[in-house]
Amino acid sequence: MSEEKLLEIKNLKQHFKTGRHSVVKAVDGISFDIHKGETFGLVGESGCGKSTTGRSIIRLYDATEGEVNFKGENVHGKKTRDQLKKFNREMQMIFQDPYASLNPRMKVADIIAEGMDIHGLETNEKARKAKVEELLETVGLNKEHANRYPHEFSGGQRQRIGIARALAVDPSFIIADEPISALDVSIQAQVVNLLKQLQKDKGLTYLFIAHDLSMVKYISDRIGVMYFGKMVELADADELYRNPIHPYTQSLLSAIPLPDPVYERSRERFTYDPNDHDTSEEPEFREVSPDHWVLCTTKEFEHYRREYNTVK
Amino acid sequence: MEKLLDVKNMHVSFDTYGGEVQAVRGVNFSLNKGETLAIVGESGSGKSVTTKALMKLIPMPPGRIKEGEILFEGRDLTKLSEKEMQKIRGKDISMIFQDPMTSLNPTMKVGNQIAEGLIKHQKMSKSQAKARVIELLELVGIPDAENRMKQYPHQFSGGMRQRVVVAIALACNPKLLIADEPTTALDVTIQAQILELMKDIQKKTESGIIFITHDLGVVANVADRVAVMYAGRIVEIGTVDDIFYNPKHPYTWGLLGSMPSLDAEVSELYAIPGSPPDLLNPPKGDAFAPRNQYAMQIDREQEPPMFKVSDSHYAATWLLHEHAPDIDPPEAIKKRMTAMTSAVNGKGERV
């Protein structure tokens, strides 16, 4: 995996006005990079802003503040239609709910080809059909499925259609927003294996948003943990699970039930109390050990470092 | 131990235009007081239909309990009239539904929704019910109960709503609690709280719990016994240790193998190929055979009976027949099994 930055998110803020005087700070100043060819996992509880982050990156929302640099160019800010189209071709999204994200009145072939039509990729009817069939086969469906409607498919198959649609415009970056949470366990494994295979074949970069931590760990190279609109910890997947530093990450990890009854009988859950933090200053994102970042104050930083080194 | 529930050879079918869908095809299990039985399986395996049939919540028609007995404290529920069932529902048997967003009435204050059962079943007065509602809300960990009970469901978050649903289910101290994926829609931390809450309450009230889920982590956490369902049948049943450390059915292997573990390094997840069969025309022989790499000739011809592995552990696979060849579970599963067993010493503690 290269260290080349595909995506650079700088101090991204997404605030929603909910009334005349109230503002929801869904994403409140987060910064991170996504490297070319990697899978970046974003985890956190519902309402922590992880989906909003994904949607702001692809400009489904206009960011309140901050930059999203994709290949060195800001996605936000003033853009012409053509400029936006260029980003849209490079970035695609796979949605959580395979039932709601496919238009029930469109045939699968048209759903998949919609992006190609918009970008004028395959103007020839025959080539368009061939491309759709190729995509269907890539995602493990067969070409007879092209003329059916979404309701004729199971959840796992629909998610495959969603993936085929995302792949149709040959993107380099895919945001997968909880792509498997609506699927059965055995089907989840099929879809995750497919996503991994596609990444290998096409050199894709993923932003994988999920709350199922064991699956995130399995698929991701690096993971960011979000809490109330802030990123509280960022590290390599293995490192994060072995040495979680931020108390929130620790509580999150300790809450995952594992398929191991003996472990479960002895598992102890930590609860996270945000009031335990040092409030003498605004916390900042600091590097506690190489490539392992934690949101903390100076005092906490010293403490985390000492603890981290003694554990090691 | 006292037997609370005994389900014998239950068949549930739905009559549709396409024909008879045999959603549940002969299910046997029992539940003791204070025990938790987890039912796992894919969607469409009949786990929800099984539990809905227990409460007779299946719309009839098109559904019907074709055959079998449901003995609840010795009474056969299948023979009761709707009126008699209404006396049991919410009082002796209650249910927690999967989706807290849709299982509450959006036009009713949550306090009234909880009080409904109390007034109906326990003939409480409004003020008695109110006191009990506050008590229940506190029990399930909703702060400021006095004010919260006057709010509507949309004013609660997902986790809080599920707590309200739990409170409704617990209102009359049911003897049997059926929880249909109660935590699937929730975050892990909230899930952990709800699970702890349910276990806590079970300890206090001695209720039996049937827990439906497809999350094996949750199963390992809550269950005493586990039933694995596939295509309308229980294919393996045993104690939680039997199922996790000594699984016998290839389908159970597949389920266990398709979950990534946090500590083990697996390069590829084991995915069960294909999808579950259409129960409109259940296949001849073992329904799992088309997806089973270990399937033998007999699997395609004859349905396997339940083979006894131990007093507590049964599995329906021809692999357990004395003439069956010795077959090793897939490498990934074996690794898991040994990793898990080696982590356990004689006393069942993790080393």
DSSP string, B118-174: HHHHS---HHHHHHHHHHHHHHTT-SSHHHHTTS-GGGS-HHHHHHHHHHHHHTT--
Interstrand relation of B208-212 and B225-230 (parallel, antiparallel or unpaired): unpaired
pLDDT-based confidence at B208, cuts 50/70/90? very high
Cα A223 to its chain centre, rounded Å, is 10
Q: Collect contacts of B334-340 with beta carbons under 8 A, ≥24 apart.
A: B335/B264, B336/B256, B336/B257, B336/B261, B336/B264, B337/B245, B337/B246, B337/B247, B339/B264, B340/A260, B340/A262, B340/B244, B340/B245
pLDDT at B115: 92
pLDDT-based confidence at B226, cuts 50/70/90? very high
pLDDT-based confidence at B16, cuts 50/70/90? confident
pLDDT surpasses 80 at B269: no
Chain B interface, best mutation among A39, A256, A263, by max B CB count within 10 A: A263
pLDDT at B263: 61
Coil vs helix vs strand at B290: helix
Reported as a single tens digit per residue, the pLDDT across A210-226 is: 877 888 888 899 999 99
Give A-chain residues touching B42 at CB under 8 angstroms: 184-187
**Where in chain A does DSSP place strands (E)?**
5-17, 23-35, 39-43, 65-70, 73-74, 91-94, 173-177, 205-210, 222-227, 230-236, 284-289, 292-296
**Residue A255: which of B188, B244, B268 has the nearest Cβ?**
B188
CB atoms within 10 A of CB A270: 13
Q: Are A165 and A115 in contact (CB under 8 A)?
A: yes
pLDDT surpasses 60 at A76: yes
pLDDT at B35: 92
Instruction: Beginning with the edge strand found earlier in the chain, give each strand of the sheet holding B19-32 in spatial order.
Output: B19-32, B3-16, B63-72, B75-76
Which range of A27-31, B14-18, B265-269 scores highest in mean pLDDT? It is A27-31
Interchain pair A187, B187: CB under 8 A = no
A197 touches chain B (CB under 8 A): no
pLDDT-based confidence at B348, cuts 50/70/90? very low
Q: Token match 């024909």: residue?
A: B19
Of B132-146, B171-185, B317-331, B337-351, minimum mean pLDDT range: B337-351
Half-sphere exposure of B224 (CA within 13 A, CB side): 14
Measured in angstroms, the CA of A119 and the nearest CA of chain B are apart by 34
pTM: 0.81
pLDDT-based confidence at A204, cuts 50/70/90? very high
Interchain pair B275, A252: CB under 8 A = no
What is the percentage of chain A residues whose pLDDT exceeds 70? 99
Token pair listed for B205 = 């009230």
Mean pLDDT in chain B? Answer: 83
Residues B198, B201, B202, CA angle at the centre, nearest 5°? 85
Angstrom distance (rounded) from CA B339 to CA B347 = 17
Measured in angstroms, the CA of B134 and the nearest CA of chain A are apart by 25
What is the percentage of chain B residues whose pLDDT exceeds 90? 15
Q: Which of residues 114-173 of A touch B (CB under 8 A)?
A: 154-156
Q: Which of residues 62-121 of A touch B (CB under 8 A)?
A: none
pLDDT at A268: 84
> Counting Cβ atoms within 10 Å, is residue A223 exposed (0-12), middle (13-18) or buried (19+)?
buried
pLDDT-based confidence at B349, cuts 50/70/90? very low
Residue A311 or A210, more confident: A210
CB atoms within 10 A of CB A179: 29
Coil vs helix vs strand at A292: strand
Backbone region of residue A43 per phi and psi (left: phi > 0; alpha: psi in -120 to 50; beta: other values) = beta
Angstrom distance (rounded) from CA B166 to CA B198 = 8
pLDDT-based confidence at B238, cuts 50/70/90? very high
pLDDT surpasses 90 at A80: no
Angstrom distance (rounded) from CA B69 to CA B28 = 9
Q: Collect contacts of B147-151 with beta carbons under 8 A, ≥24 apart.
A: B148/B110, B148/B111, B149/B109, B149/B110, B149/B111, B149/B114, B150/B109, B150/B111, B151/B109, B151/B110
pLDDT at B346: 45
The ipTM, to two decimals, is 0.74
Chain A interface, best mutation among B262, B263, B266, B347, by max A CB count within 10 A: B262
Instruction: Beginning with the edge strand found earlier in the chain, give each strand of the sheet holding A284-289 in spatial order.
Output: A91-94, A173-177, A205-210, A39-43, A222-227, A230-236, A292-296, A284-289
CB atoms within 10 A of CB B274: 12
pLDDT at A157: 86
pLDDT surpasses 90 at B39: yes
Residue B42 or B185, more confident: B42
pLDDT-based confidence at B351, cuts 50/70/90? very low
A77 DSSP 8-state letter: S
pLDDT at A312: 60
Token pair listed for B94 = 């209650």
pLDDT surpasses 60 at B350: no
Mean pLDDT in chain A? Answer: 87
- Shortest CA distance from B341: residue in chain A: A262
Q: Are B339 and B264 in contact (CB under 8 A)?
A: yes
pLDDT at B108: 92
B210 touches chain A (CB under 8 A): no
Give B-chain residues touching A186 at CB under 8 angstroms: 42, 254-255, 258, 271-272
What average pLDDT score do residues B263-284 get?
74
**Residue A258: which of B189, B217, B273 has the nearest Cβ?**
B217
Give B-chain residues touching A141 at CB under 8 angstroms: none
Of A152-156, A300-304, B99-103, B242-246, minimum mean pLDDT range: B99-103
B335 touches chain A (CB under 8 A): no
CB atoms within 10 A of CB B92: 18
Token pair listed for A249 = 């990450």
Taken in order A267, A271, A272, A276, is the CA torsion positive or negative? Answer: negative
Q: Are B89 and B172 in contact (CB under 8 A)?
A: no
Token pair listed for B33 = 């007081």
Angstrom distance (rounded) from CA A99 to CA A162 = 10
**Residue A189: which of B215, B223, B258 has the nearest Cβ?**
B258
Token pair listed for A143 = 């070409």
What is the percentage of chain B residues whose pLDDT exceeds 70? 92
Angstrom distance (rounded) from CA A265 to CA A271 = 18
pLDDT-based confidence at B210, cuts 50/70/90? very high
The length of chain A in residues reads: 312
